[in-house]
Amino acid sequence: MNGPAYWGIAGYPISHSLTPRLFELVGAKLGLTAQSVYIEADSMDEFETNLNNLQGDIWLSCTAPLKHSPQARLAVSGPEGVNAINQLKLQNGKWTGTSTDGVGFVAACRHIGVEPNGSILRMRGGGSAARAIAAAWAEEGGSIIPLEGRRELVGGPWDSAIISEGEADLAIDLDAAAGGGQSAELSAKQQVSISYGEGATAEDFAVIMVAAQHLEAWKHLYTPERAADLPSLSLLLDRLSRFN
């Protein structure tokens, strides 16, 4: 198969994003190439204006503030309860998309030795990433202690996993600002962050997660027919560290 004309990242801020580099690394493993793009856009109007300059198929990771808008503007539906997307694919003029934040978080947790099944996650926030993580964590048999931040975690497929107290195995502040923003300290055996900035390394949890959710995007959206040929998460992180 051929790759798209373009692949990359859309949203704001994105100058620190490793996504275009990850596209290049995974693409090289599969023998695919494309032109990498950084589409800075803080609104759907700006996003569509910038896309007018690009002709052909395109694969994009989407970050804030664009995770909700594509559902209505591009007629792409997010998973139940999550109601947001972070991966987009334009092929032959038709958009498709999905959310890989949750499955990427679970894969990253397993990479650092935290098994969701039977574990308690203390989680601050209620936005799209929080809902995706809650859905995936609950599906894997984990429990969640939600903490209200800028937004409350609304009801969803994770309701049966919600508990009010307990010793958390893992904590995450999803209200930390993008680009490496500081997290609030939360009570848990271990705390991680999914916000990274310039200078982040392949040993940082946030980088592990972005690599993990990127692989999930190739598996479920970009090239599902090549899933068996994708690099492992460990191999991708190793190549990322060498690339740096």
Question: Catalytic amino acids?
Answer: 67
Helix 101-111 with 128-139: angle, nearest 10 deg: 60
Starting at the edge strand found earlier in the chain, the sheet holding 143-147 runs: 143-147, 120-124, 170-173, 191-192
CB atoms within 10 A of CB 166: 10
Rounded Cα distance, 163 and 152, in Å: 15
The amino acid that residue 225 corresponds to is: E
The answer to whether 20 and 7 have CB atoms below 8 angstroms apart is yes
Cβ-Cβ contacts under 8 Å for 12 (sequence gap 6 or more): 40, 41, 42, 63, 64, 65
Our CA dihedral for 173, 60, 142, 188, rounded to 10 degrees, sits at -20
β-strands 170-173, 191-192 pairing: parallel
